[in-house]
Amino acid sequence: MPIVGHSGISKRYNLVSAPPDGFVTLRRLSFGEKILRREALGKATVKSEKGRGRDRRNNDFTAEMQLINQQVTQMEFAKSIVEHNLTFLNSAGQEQAFDFNNPTHYAMLDGNVGEEIQDYITEMNDYESSDEGKFETTSTR
């Protein structure tokens, strides 16, 4: 019988945007985590359709959508990054490792590094474009 529980398989990515040796090790999101992500983004889509034609509500929706996107991305970073060597200088001038479960640390990340990590997270969780997402057909005759 096939074992289909979340495997926890991880992959290391060297970060071009964090020379000389920046890296992250990412794990694929579980199905439950992907559902939570879709639910958060789905709520925003429903609100968008309800608020059409009203300037104030559209502005409120834009702000809420930005917040939802930020929360979803932060969740993806916190759940996906299992190891890294990324640091910043804290207020005492000492090097400190990023904690991607901490929203303050997530917000301080360099934009280029964040985008590169986000691209790798997307690549790792894109089931349809991976080899694992290809369906194998067999004849039943």
DSSP string, 11-51: EEEE-TTSTTT-EEEEEPPPHHHHHHHHHHHHHHHHHHHHT
Question: What's the maximum distance between 2 C-alpha atoms anywhere in the chain?
Answer: 71
Residue with tokens 């985590």: 33
From the list 129, 13, 118, 112, the residue with the least C-alpha distance to 69 is 118
pTM of the model: 0.74
How does residue 125 score in pLDDT terms, banded at 50, 70 and 90? confident
pLDDT in tens, 5-52: 766 689 999 999 999 999 999 999 988 888 888 887 776 555 555 555
Check: CB of residue 69 under 8 Å from CB of residue 38.
no
CA distance 16 to 33: 28
Question: What does the buried/exposed string (b/e) look like for 17-27 if buried means 16 or more CB atoms within 10 Å of the residue's CB?
Answer: ebeeebebebb
Top pLDDT among 52 and 69 is at: 69
**HSE-CB for 58 with a 13 A CA cutoff:** 4
Q: Which residues have CB under 8 Å from 114's CB, separation 6+?
A: none
Picking from 12-16, 52-56, 67-71, 127-131, which range would have the lowest pLDDT averaged per residue? 52-56
